[in-house]
């Protein structure tokens, strides 16, 4: 008999009521800085760009987006089985040019990450956090054999996942720039017990 232990959990919410088209117009007019690729090869470039890390504070729709993010986070944290408040610590926009993607990465020093998509038919990919494993030929895909999982997202989608989880912006098959707003989250209040207790204000 198979049973699951230590599974990864992500939370997906679609069709969130936001003015996605108007938000997208605003994102297209922001100032972006190029993300340098980690691979030092003149023939390789992710064509990824980001804004500063306080973007929600400066967007016309920033407060409205943050309210929806907070609602989504409340549902996600409850569905994960945790009892904790939270704080959205930073926020930025990712821009990926057509026929490009980001590199694998995670968000150190944070608890959860959330991404909101104002447009498109795109994807975000997640990688299994294996330190050591054999690359045995698979008969079928399942939670035991999969090393990567891709989630399709569209306008009005928010996704919440552990910040330590390796992930990347999926390949942009479209002929337009791909935009998304990302935030990182810390718990709020007292967590832990004994000498492991800490208070997040």
CB distance 151 to 10 below 8 Å: yes
What is the structure's pLDDT at 132? 65
Q: Which of 183, 147, 172, 153 is nearest to 73 (CA)?
A: 183
Domain count, the chain: 1
The reply to whether 101 falls in a domain is yes
Q: Is residue 11 scored above 90 in pLDDT? A: yes
CB distance 127 to 167 below 8 Å: yes
The reply to whether 4 falls in a domain is no
What is the structure's pLDDT at 41? 76
| Residue 128 confidence class, pLDDT cut points 50, 70, 90 | confident
Which CATH number goes with the domain that contains 149? Answer: 2.60.120.620
Rounded alpha-carbon distances, angstroms, from residue 90 to 32, 56, 61, 184: 16, 8, 16, 6
Torsion sign across C-alpha atoms 81, 83, 85, 89:
negative
Q: Is residue 1 scored above 90 in pLDDT? A: no
CB distance 126 to 149 below 8 Å: yes
Q: Is residue 149 scored above 70 in pLDDT? A: yes
Predicted TM-score (pTM) of this structure: 0.93
The reply to whether 116 falls in a domain is yes
Mean pLDDT of 59-86: 97
Q: Is residue 61 scored above 80 in pLDDT? A: yes
Write phi, then psi, for 196 (nearest 5 degrees). -95, 5
What is the structure's pLDDT at 26? 98
Task: Write out 108-125 in H/E/C secondary structure.
Answer: CCCCEEEEEECCCCEEEE
> What 8-state DSSP symbol labels residue 144?
T
Domain of residue 63: give its range.
Answer: 11-132+139-188
Cα–Cα distance between 168 and 67 in angstroms, integer?
25
The reply to whether 93 falls in a domain is yes
For 96, the token pair is 């990926």
The reply to whether 32 falls in a domain is yes
């Amino acid at each position: 008999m198979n049973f699951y232990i230590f599974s990864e959990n992500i939370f997906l919410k679609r069709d969130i009521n936001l003015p996605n088209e108007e938000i997208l117009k605003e994102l297209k007019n922001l100032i972006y800085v190029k993300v340098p690729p980690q691979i030092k090869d003149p023939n390789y470039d992710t064509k990824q760009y980001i804004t500063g890390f306080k973007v929600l504070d400066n967007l016309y729709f920033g407060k409205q987006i943050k309210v929806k993010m907070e609602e989504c986070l409340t549902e996600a944290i409850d569905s994960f089985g945790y009892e904790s408040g939270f704080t959205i610590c930073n926020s930025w926009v990712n821009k990926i040019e057509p026929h490009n993607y980001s590199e694998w990465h995670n968000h150190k020093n944070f608890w959860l990450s959330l991404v909101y998509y104002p447009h498109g038919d795109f994807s975000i990919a997640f990688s299994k956090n294996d330190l050591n494993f054999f690359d045995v030929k698979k008969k079928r895909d399942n939670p035991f054999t999969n090393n990567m999982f891709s989630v399709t997202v569209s306008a009005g989608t928010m996704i919440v996942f552990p910040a330590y989880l390796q992930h990347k912006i999926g390949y942009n098959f479209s002929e337009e720039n791909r935009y998304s707003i990302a935030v990182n989250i810390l718990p709020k209040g007292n967590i832990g017990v004994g000498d492991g207790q800490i208070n997040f204000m």
